[in-house]
Structure 1
């Protein structure tokens, strides 16, 4: 069964539109591929006859008949449509080629100007940075000279007080004697206090030799009973 209606909306760029059905509130979808002549675009208000079919769960117009177009009108429209598309096919190529070059040249000019501005800012930043460095370097040199002038000449070595010098010499002597004593001992596998000949030897073994058993209470003092410590 054919329905009748008029073209309500048509989007030429996307090739589809809607038909207002006589006596119905809901419009029906159509696509240009379903028109009898795809080269002649639909016109708003054009009268149509069509069938409503189910297309993947959605209704659309099919078997469309263009009521307002006679054969002579159809031929004239085809000729006009072909000439129009031939013109459109030539025009964009010429205009796009010219305007494309213009846009490219303008874009390159903008890039060149921006690059020059960035380079100028970078040069200014480097010059400012170098100037600040020289300024602070000069201030530091002047401050160093003032400190030297205020201190005057200082001796290379400052002598210690007599008591402090004797204390340092005593500490150095004790450490030297301990080092000399330690040089006479060596780890030879002995582990027990009964095998030690002196407290110094026990201390050496406890501090330097593995697996010794000379400090039962773990206070760092070996063989306390044997040597009365």
Structure 2
């Protein structure tokens, strides 16, 4: 926004010119339509606060404008901004309640979701005739010192540990199938 003084005004035709406060700036055209929200007509000598815009003919003119110190008409779409020094306590409380709910719910739901996802059960939609079935990629496991069935998350993980990692204790009956009572029982 810029400021300037109204140096010429033609009431009959509804336009005038503003001398901007910037040194050396050209006078700026202003039309009454830019000030229609004001409670009185402009007068020579008024300080105008305005925003420059380019008209359809490519010239600069005052667009959105107001007369400094003059009231805006009631019901006008352009209103002075209210500055509030109060903090929106309601929004803060809503945010805190939401954070508390999330903090409470996530630890309770995480084991359920993790248990559901980690089971060795795969669900798929039957393919249409033109579709090809793309198999799920096998999970990637690493030997990380797990030795017991209670540390495993799936039959695939238990089988990987039994076949690839030293010191596992997951095949109690030595039949080659690990964790039969927890993960790999048929």
Structure 2-normalised TM-score?
Answer: 0.35
Greater relative contact order (Cα 8 A, min sep 6): structure 1 or 2? 2
Greater Rg over alpha carbons, structure: 1
Higher share of residues assigned helix: 1
